[in-house]
Chains A and B, each alone.
Chain A
């Protein structure tokens, strides 16, 4: 149980395009999901906390107009990288929180490459 999926697993796009990444909790409901960014050989950097039915809470330094988060249901959160640029290339990982618990279950990640 507690499986989290992400789609797509890998995306290559041209500079200036927008990219949407989906995060789904497959076998449980997640009122809270988190979005992380990870550069090569570095730790996970929390970008934002996504709560179902409300606006996401962004960490300091993360542009909310560039990284648009929508948590429309208890099993789906999306991250849209608006007008992506090469510096946005990274590994984006989501996690989902089991309701009433502290345990975060992570998705497999999405590799974004902006040319």
Chain B
């Protein structure tokens, strides 16, 4: 599938700080960009998503921004809490049906 690059691979922040995870994609036909949170031994959980006709979306402490021209999108978590610790995956829709191309994940650790 098309590439989705995700950075950083690991991120450690102190409780209360902000965390930013960035992704780039290569398929210009991608128009849907979800973010998933995966805790150890569990399935991914959708936390926020954005479509190409929107530049920014916010849901409480979580926000996502999208720059279609540059083909990159970012996840912002403010006022981080220890329970935010998990692996976060970005994804971009594929030009072939509804399949998603996933980034390699970011392991976020929030220390008290």
| Interface residues, chain A, with chain B CB atoms under 8 Å away | 4, 6, 32, 34, 41-44, 46, 49, 93, 97, 102-109, 111
Interface residues on B, range: 20 to 34
Interchain CB contact (< 8 A) of B42 among A32, A44, A46, A109: A109
Q: A43-B89, A97-B98, A111-B41 are in contact. List 5 more A-B contacts (CB 8 A).
A: A4-B43, A43-B104, A44-B89, A46-B100, A102-B51
* Contacting pair B43 A109 (CB below 8 A): yes
Chain A-chain B contacts (Cβ-Cβ < 8 Å), number: 49
Q: Does B93 contact A (CB under 8 A)?
A: yes
Interface majority SS on A: helix, strand, loop or mixed?
strand
- Chain A residue at minimum C-beta to C-beta distance from B36: A106
- Chain A residue at minimum C-beta to C-beta distance from B49: A103
| Interface residues, chain B, with chain A CB atoms under 8 Å away | 1, 32, 34, 36, 41-46, 49, 51, 89, 93, 97-100, 102-105, 107
* Contacting pair A43 B105 (CB below 8 A): yes
**23 pairs, A vs B, C-beta closer than 8 Å:** A6-B43, A32-B98, A34-B99, A42-B104, A43-B102, A43-B103, A43-B104, A43-B105, A44-B89, A46-B1, A46-B99, A49-B99, A93-B43, A97-B98, A102-B98, A103-B49, A106-B44, A106-B45, A107-B43, A108-B42, A108-B43, A109-B42, A109-B43
With known contacts A43-B103, A103-B34, A109–B41 Cβ distance under 8 A: yes
* Bound-complex Cα distance A43 to B41 (A): 13
Q: How far is the CB of B29 from chain A (nearest CB, A)?
A: 13
* Contacting pair B46 A105 (CB below 8 A): yes
* Bound-complex Cα distance A93 to B41 (A): 11
A46 / chain B contacts, CB cutoff of 8 Å: 1, 99-100
* Bound-complex Cα distance A42 to B36 (A): 14
